[in-house]
Amino acid sequence: MSVTFLHTADWQLGKPYARVADVAKRSQLQNERFECLRRIGEAVREHGAAFVLVAGDLFDSPSPVNSTVAKACEAIGRMGVPVLVIPGNHDHGGPGSLWKQPFFISQREQLAPNLRVLLAPEPVILDGAVVLPAPLLRRQDNADPTIWIRTAFESADLPAHLPRIVLAHGSVQGFESIQDDEDEESKGLNRIDLSRLPDSEIDFIALGDWHGTKQVAPKAWYSGTPEIDRFPRGSDNDPGNILIVKAGRGQVPDVVKQSSGRFRWNAFSHRFSEDEGFEAFRIQLEEHIGEWGQDSLLNLSLDGSLGIETSRRLAGFIEGLDARLLRLKLEEHVSIAPTQDEITALADRPGDPLISSVAAKLIDLSQGGDSHVALLALRELHAAIR
């Protein structure tokens, strides 16, 4: 017997996006994580999935606000099939956790009776599969959450014809959750040792925590987060997907990746070597933004040097990008290198001796320890006299 289901993880509903200063843009990013659940529901119906597995971190916090809980339950209820969830490190299932709070319980009962939160390390038998959950009952744990599965088949009387699916959240084989610049560094805990699981007894391992889609063993996959939430971290990181899985007892699972994300988190780097190259840079970046769309986020890395006037133009261009895009993360290391014409225009002004005197002092300072501040002042002075 085989069954088709959806594997997803790391929804992190309620993510604050604290580095996005604009309130409207921040709300847009937060709301898209709920809109992504609608796309997951469409995939359920498109593929005839029997159930959905969420491998941890449904919420970004163990104490999300009530509106986030209610919206999540409403979206899950619309999926129309059983949705099985385990707590992850962000929404762990320890004492006083969200999952045992009266408000969550009431919303689940009213809006999402199809939602099952698996808090106990014990087999869950569905009509089409056996799910072996490894819930995290604290944020960080030195113990492997799948330990109990190693011996579960010695005593458990499981249906012989149903595929067996492990549902876990943590790091395997050197892969651990890459934090973005809004999060703390990963502590490298919640390790899962796949090599110690009884391979012949298991038909699929649905993992969460790594935010990119990745196969880490013949039967083990990270689905990644369904809506991208950070800038690219290497070519092997492939977020913004869900997995359509067909599993059967004793069969190699059939896994199809399906895109589910909307926003694009892009990276662009450039080194300036001369002022004449600024316009080519601007045109190239504008073309990329046209391809990406205005609803995109950009990690812009710049270095090199520019003259005073071109440096001022760059600052204005960056200001416009910051206003247009959902987020601009800027890593700028561009130094100001006044051209000879610019130095002459500032220092050699017979009709304006005060400007000439100030410019001369700033030029001297720019060649000493206060060079950065002096060069910025020269740029402002140049702009003022223009």
- From 207, 242, 259, give the residue that closes a domain: 259
113, 234: one domain: yes
Quick one: 142 and 249 in the same domain?
Answer: yes
Residues 242 and 308 in one domain: no
57 and 155 belong to one structural domain: yes
Residues 90 and 239 in one domain: yes
Tokens matching residue 84: 């099985």
Which domain-ending residue is among 204, 227, 259?
259
Of 259, 284, 306, the domain-final residue? 259
Packing angle of the helix pair 308-324, 371-385 (nearest 10 deg): 90
183 lies in the same domain as 273 = no
Q: What pLDDT score does 161 carry?
A: 94
181 and 91 in a single domain? The answer is yes
CATH label of the domain that carries residue 50: 3.60.21.10
Residues 234 and 348 in one domain: no
pLDDT on residue 309: 87
Q: What is the pLDDT of residue 236?
A: 73
For residue 301, the enclosing domain spans: 264-385
Number of domains in the chain: 2
Q: What is the pLDDT along the chain (386 residues), one digit of tens a residue?
A: 899 999 999 999 999 999 998 999 999 999 999 999 999 999 999 999 999 999 999 999 999 999 999 999 999 999 999 999 999 999 999 888 899 999 999 999 999 999 999 999 999 999 999 999 999 988 777 789 999 999 888 877 899 899 999 999 999 865 555 555 554 444 556 899 999 999 999 999 999 999 999 999 999 999 999 999 988 776 678 899 999 999 999 999 999 999 999 998 999 999 998 888 999 999 999 999 998 877 889 999 999 989 888 988 999 999 999 999 999 999 999 988 777 776 766 666 665 677 677 767 777 777 766 677 776 776 676 666 65
Are residues 370 and 229 located together in one domain of the fold?
no
What is the structure's pLDDT at 184?
46
pLDDT at residue number 185: 43
Distance in angstroms (rounded) separating the CA atoms of residues 177 and 54:
16
Residues 225 and 312 in one domain: no
Do both 251 and 301 map to the same domain?
Answer: no
pLDDT score, position 345: 67
Q: Is there a single domain that holds both residue 332 and residue 209? A: no
